Amino acid sequence: MREEEKINAGILFSPADPELKAIKLKTHNLNVDYNNTYEDEEEKRAEILSQIIGELGEGGRIQGPIAFHYGKHTKIGRNFFGNFNLTIQDDAEVTIGDNCNFGPNVTIVTPVHPMLPNERRAMLTANGEKKSLCYARPVHIGNDCWFGASVTVCPGVTIGDNCVIGAGSVVTRDIPAGSFAAGVPCRVIRKLTEADSMRHLPDILADNSIIE
């Protein structure tokens, strides 16, 4: 079994495997290329992102700088906006739905390392080789989610549609659809309802209106 297949199977793999290192090197270099562009070089940025991300829907925009680990394991839907310093460590699959908006310094991680130090240093493979091994858990984010600044999403988490995650949260467990959640660790504060509409904040809504 190839190391990338082991990632998908959720079992221990070697991140130092030559095939995986080649993928990461290519992506890391492309990150640098993207981060060295100007904001108005839209075509150049789009071309670089097409080489990094597995899937990126129409209307996607990422402010930069960016840090993708594999890139190819990430799938992003339509009309995505990622603010400054988006980091996605996508050893395992990361999926992000349509119409999601991320504030600055959002981090998504999928790899998990052994808890015991001797196991982190090395374990024996099936071939009897000593290697540093880890495993990874996919992250899935639904449609129409908004993440505040400096949100961290941990391995194996699923966040449902229409969620708001408060700034600085560390999401360690699944968040059901339609929730406002925040904290360290992140927990559901309440369900989002019509009472959260801007129509109830007329001083802020000013002379704007809600699209019915």
- Catalytic residue check, 69: no
Q: Note every long-range contact of 14-18, with CB atoms under 8 Å and residues 24 or more positions apart, other chains counting.
A: 14/125, 14/131, 14/132, 14/133, 15/91, 15/111, 15/132, 15/134, 16/131, 16/132
Place of tokens 């395992």: 92
65 cis-preceded (ω within 30 degrees of 0): yes
Does residue 128 come out as left (phi exceeding 0), alpha (psi in the -120 to 50 range) or beta?
left
DSSP string, 78-94: TT-EE-SSEEEE-SS-E
* Catalytic one of 28, 69, 73, 113: 113
The catalytic residue positions are: 113
